A and B are shown apart, each in its own frame.
Chain A
Amino acid sequence: MILSRRSIILSGITVAAAGALPGFAYAAAGTPKRLVFIIQRGAADGLAIVAPTGDPALAAARRAMADETAGGAKLDGMFTLHPALAATAGLYMGKQAHFAHAIATAYRDRSHFDGQNMLEGGGSRPYGRDDGWIGRLLTLLPPAERDAIAIAPAVPLALRGSVQVGTYAPSRLPQADADLIARLSALYANDPLLHPLWDSAIKTQELAGDIGGNNGRNGADLGKLAASLMLPADGARVMMVETGGWDTHSGQRGRLAAQLRGLDQLIGALQAGLGSAWSDTLVIVATEFGRTVEVNGTGGTDHGTASTAMLLGGGLNDGGKVSADWPGLGNAARYEGRDLKPTRSLESVIAGAVAHHYALDPGRVMSTLYPEA
């Protein structure tokens, strides 16, 4: 595998155990397909990312945060894209972005751990599977399209399975992400020893570990790295990129905007870096569940149920479209009176997009990726 030194330095990420990676020596037959799965850990708020501004109940539920998406691209009569997603809006106009809304996995409780386990494992209950939906997908792909890698210290559940998968990890101690730092600040708040120490530590800490930091440039660096790993003839063809920091219980307006700026730059850098290969690339962006319809008392939203997922790439089936069997946001229409009700399964959205991308039989893809569905 060839990695430009520049991309390594830019991202602050270096090759760990390159010698231990599986061989990337397949000859490219035609233009191989590429797949990128970007996981949004922490439950991203679909109602603010692809906002149903045409739903009259939105403004009342979101109150002061109702204008969170003001200035964003109008996707159709119903939906507005968050303004931080400028490059993504451009893709949508070029029919290279599709948003699936009011979707959820089979999971119906509100634990991040369990929800992510189901999103990655693709089973019907938490911790029911040791392998993941991408790991199983790899068995359906030709050898030339099977080389998978995660930008993570260890192989995430989604990629686990019978095919060996590589990982890339930061070589030095990574900086703790902003969300963890905020949570520890709360945990240390009443500790007379740790509170002042931690305050001082944060002041000297330059946050650079999450995609939202550094005005989105961290996301761009991650996107550049991902592209550099996938572009070469012997590079990876399937990739998983981890993003955290979506758990916006408080101060959602600023935090979500920063997260989305980072995501937008990640996507932009990935597209730019892949060049002409972008037309044979599918990017899936998904989260474990959504957030409450109502705003809470701290300018944030709490754990919910349905959310939105993004499909991006040069060869989409129905780019430039938001697909949703919209349930409405009125009290009676909500799931358990609080959440956006799921009207379609995320599993079927993913399986459908993957089947189209690789020109595989949709039924076979569904039963392989989600055997319990």
Chain B
Amino acid sequence: MAVQYLAANRFGLGRRFDDPPIDDPKAWLTRQIGDYDPAPPALAALAGREAIATAYAEYRDERQAMRREANAAAMRDDGDAMSDPMPDAMRRMSRAGFRRHYVDAAGARLAAAIATPTPFAERLVHFWANHFAISADKQTVVGFAGHYENAAIRPHVMGKFADLLIAAVRHPAMLLYLDQAQSFGPDSIFATRIRNRGKRQAPGLNENLAREILELHTLGVRAGYTQADVTSFAKALTGLTVAGLGRGAGQRLMPADARPGETLFVGRLHQPGPQTILGKSYGQPDEKQAEAVLRDLAVHPATAKHVAIKLARHFTGDNPPAALVDRLSGDFLRTGGDLPSLYRTLIASPEPWAAAPTMFKSPWDWTVSMLRALKNPALGERQNIAAMFAQLGQPVWRPGSPKGYDDMVATWAGSAALMQRVELASRVAGRIGDRADARVLAPLILADALTPETAQAIGRADSPGQGIAMLFASPTFLRR
């Protein structure tokens, strides 16, 4: 079997042009667990959460000011209300402030993936970021998307699943994406006071985050929890919010020294009293209540199974072998969700090594592996990385739903998608020209998966550039 190619592409992100051969694939992968750097140099220059939150707040304030002005103008013009209070061009300009953080972070993510000496660990970062998916569709989330992966996911991929879960749930990107910042305990001090005034409807509970944690992040869909569990969990989560960004009256309850973008627990928003979830009563005070629930969910047998299936699928294909799923799930339960142990079990298992590379690389995986293979820069200096992945069909951090991107062959193997890859390979090949020799590169990059057909096709290419395009469009390189 093509163990070197599988190690480099199924587990890693493709061999770099300057990587030594992978003599002992399992040792190479295991070593990365210890060598992993949660803060790689490529990400060092990215903005912090306060700058990101401020950029969004400025946009929002400008828009509000403009709307007020437009309304005032409309009043003067006999009340002829404008349908669009802010012209498109002005809106784009204003948005650019926080969109830049997204574009910068997407570029840095690619740079980190190309440069990383621990590509297996980097793949796991991408895997977990997609498991705990946020989607940069919401204006409030856009600027935070990269920060979420770098601050909530990266530090915990070599730790306990529970800590990863809690970090993901508490990050402003998740709190804003799944509406937690607008969820208030129905009997919280805040809601009660508003209700007593009788002026307007009291703000209430939003179950979005609680439901997705149960369905997507931990137990899995139809894993035996009920609507009552969802509601109780949502109540336990109340009080968790984001300073300076969340909408609504809750913002007034923020402590004066709260910094924009900071995750806060505001006691007066929290639903008082114990909550019963999955038959267990949680009577902890304040935010300790939700944390206790999360810690139990993180080691639940259904969570072990759910995570095992997703991980096994990512490393074997559409229908992961039951034996592998059981082994991973058993390991997860035995260690209380110790992720490095899970990875070691995965590496030691025969199943990920047993088949030819049958999984179709995602646009991200394919592009990263192509760029890692080339010594010379293959993209223009001013290439907008975010736009490129949108064109390839996998916009970075924007899967469109909290479920994240699907992880199946059919998700990515489309005819237009294939042509787009060939076109990008052509363009890259045009930039590289004869600076790389595909005949030399193919045995390095495709390693023990290089087929005689591909070697021959590359050798017969009518130019060095065409040879490079053929290498990256070859049946093997499209797969992992």
Contact = CB atoms under 8 A, between A and B. Distances in A.
B202 interface: no
Contact of A112 (B418, B424, B462, B474): B462
Interface in B416-470: 416, 418-420, 422-427, 430-435, 437, 439, 453-454, 457, 459-464, 466-467, 469-470
Interface string B84-121: 00000000000000000000000000000000000000
Which of B360, B380, B454, B461 has most A Cβ within 10 Å? B461
Which of B360, B422, B467, B474 has most A Cβ within 10 Å? B422
Contacts of B360: 193
A177 B426 contact: yes
A117 interface: yes
A175 B382 CA distance: 20
Given A193-B360, A201-B415, A154 B463 contact: no
A314 to B, nearest CB: 31
B408 to A, nearest CB: 12
Interface residues of A, number: 47
A116 interface: yes
B356 to A, nearest CB: 12
Contacts of B411: none
A278 B474 CA distance: 44
Given A42-B463, A176-B422, A180-B466, A157 B457 contact: no
A176 B430 CA distance: 11
A187 B426 contact: no
B427 A197 contact: no
Contacts of A245: 462
A113 B467 contact: yes
B278 interface: no
Contacts of B414: 197
Given A113-B467, A193-B413, A17 B418 contact: no
Nearest to B377: A154
A153 B434 CA distance: 12
Contacts of A373: none
A173 interface: yes
Which of B382, B424, B427 has most A Cβ within 10 Å? B427
B430 A180 contact: no
Contacts of A183: 457, 460-461, 466, 470
A209 B426 CA distance: 11
Contacts of B419: 176, 201-202, 204-205
A198 B470 contact: no
Which of B360, B415, B453 has most A Cβ within 10 Å? B415
A246 B416 CA distance: 27
B391 interface: yes
Interface in A206-224: 209
Contacts of A179: 462, 466
Nearest to A43: B462
Contact of B462 (A186, A198, A200, A247): A247
A78 B473 CA distance: 45
Interface string A164-187: 000001100111110111011011
Contacts of B462: 41-43, 112, 179, 244-247
A157 B433 CA distance: 9
B475 A188 contact: yes
A184 B470 contact: yes
A181 B473 CA distance: 10
Contacts of A194: 418, 475, 478
B418 A169 contact: no
Contacts of B66: none
A343 B309 CA distance: 69
A244 B432 contact: no
Contacts of A199: 415
B454 A187 contact: yes
Interface in B132-149: none
Interface in B55-98: none
B333 interface: no
B409 interface: yes
Given A41-B462, A197-B414, A173 B391 contact: yes
Contact of B466 (A193, A198, A202, A244): A244
B473 A184 contact: yes
Contact of B430 (A17, A42, A152, A204): A152
Given A43-B462, A116-B463, A193-B360, A173 B433 contact: no
Nearest to B420: A173
A173 B462 CA distance: 21
A16 B382 CA distance: 10
A183 B467 CA distance: 10
Contacts of A154: 430-433, 435
Contacts of B439: 113
Contact of A204 (B415, B453, B461, B469): B415
Contacts of A181: 422
Nearest to A112: B462
Interface string A94-114: 000000000000000001110
Given A176-B422, A193-B413, A201-B418, A157 B473 contact: no
Contacts of A184: 422, 470, 473
Nearest to A184: B473
A149 to B, nearest CB: 15
Contacts of A111: 459
A200 B475 contact: no
A157 B434 CA distance: 8
Contacts of B466: 179-180, 183, 244
A197 B413 contact: yes
12 contacts: A42-B463, A113-B437, A152-B433, A153-B430, A154-B435, A157-B433, A169-B431, A179-B462, A180-B466, A194-B478, A205-B419, A244-B463
Given A113-B464, A157-B434, A186-B457, 20 more contacts: A17-B381, A17-B382, A112-B462, A112-B463, A117-B434, A117-B464, A173-B420, A173-B427, A174-B423, A174-B427, A176-B419, A176-B426, A176-B469, A180-B426, A187-B473, A187-B474, A187-B475, A244-B462, A244-B463, A246-B462
